Amino acid sequence: MLDPLLISLKLSLITTFILLLVALPLAYVLAFCSFKGRTALEVLVALPLVLPPTVLGYFILVMIAPNTLLGRAWQDVFDASLAFSFSGMVLASVLYSLPFAVQPMQQALRAIPKAWLEMAHTQGLDFKQRLWLVILPASKGGVLVAGALSFAHTMGEFGVVLMVGGSIPGETKVASIALFELVEMQQGAQAWWLSLILLAISFVMLSVVYSVNRQRVGLFK
C-alpha cells in the first residue's frame, strides 16, 4: 500500500510543478490577448473536463506508441519506451489536469483591477516589471489554487494513468489503481485505509482552495 501512495505523491508533485510553469503563460495569453483561434485554444484546454478519461488516455497512448514520432524520439534519447512508463504517466497527467491549473490562474488574472495595470503602465514599467511587481503578486492566490487543484486531481486519477501507464508494481501502479485492485481482491481493511488517506489528502487540498478563494474575494472588494 505504501509504494502506490509514494508513486502517486511523486506523480502529483512533478505534474503540479510542470503545470505551474506551463499554465501561467497560457493563462496570461487567454486572459489578456485577443487573437484568431482563441476560442479553439480555450476549448482544447478545457476538453479534459468533459472528455472521458479512458478516451483521453487512449489518444495519449496512441500518440506515444513506439512507432510514432514522439515514441521513437523518446526511445532514441532515453533508450526506454514512453508508453507504460512513469514518464508517460507524467505527460498524461499534465494534459489531463491542465484545465485545473489554467482556469484558476486565468480567473485570477482577469480579476486584477484594470486601474492597477494602467497605473503600472503610466509609471513607465516595462512588461517584465509589471509581471513581477503587479501581475504575479496580485494573482498569487490563483496560482496557489491551481497548484492545490492540480495536485489533488492528479492524486485521484484512474482512467488516464491506467490506460497510459498500466499497473506495473513499483513503477506505474498509483494509489487509485491499487485501491481498485484491493477491492477486487476483497482486501477490505487495506482498501479502507487507502481510501481514508486519499480522502484526507483531498480534504486538505480543497480546504486550501476555499481558504485562498475567501482571501481573494476580500482582497478585491
Mapping DSSP onto H, E and C, the string for 66-135 reads CCCHHHHHHHHHHCCCCCCCHHHHHHHHHHHHHHHHHHHHHHHHHCCCHHHHHHHHHCCCCHHHHHHHHH
Least confident of 40-49, 90-99, 127-136, 144-153: 127-136
140 confidence band (pLDDT: 50, 70, 90): confident
The 10s digit of each residue's pLDDT in 15-34 is 999 999 999 889 988 988 88
Residues 6+ apart with CB under 8 A from 110: 31
Backbone phi and psi for residue 51, each to the nearest 5 degrees, phi listed first: -75, 130
**How far is the C-alpha of 15 from the C-alpha of 20, rounded, in Å?**
9
Least confident of 115-129, 140-154, 165-179: 115-129
Reduced DSSP (H G I as helix, E B as strand, rest coil) percent helix, strand, coil of the chain, to 5: 80, 0, 20
Rounded to the nearest integer, the mean pLDDT of the chain is 88
Say if residue 163's pLDDT is above 80: yes
Q: Would you state the CATH architecture of domain 2-219?
A: Orthogonal Bundle (1.10)
216 confidence band (pLDDT: 50, 70, 90): low
Start-to-end C-alpha separation, the chain: 46
Residues 6+ apart with CB under 8 A from 177: 4, 158, 161, 162, 167
Say if residue 220's pLDDT is above 60: no
Q: Could you tell me the CA-to-CA distances from 50 to 14, 37, 53, 89, 100 in Å, in that order?
A: 24, 20, 9, 20, 12
Name the nearest CA neighbour of 52 among 162, 193, 126.
Answer: 162
pLDDT of residue 43: 93
pLDDT of residue 218: 53
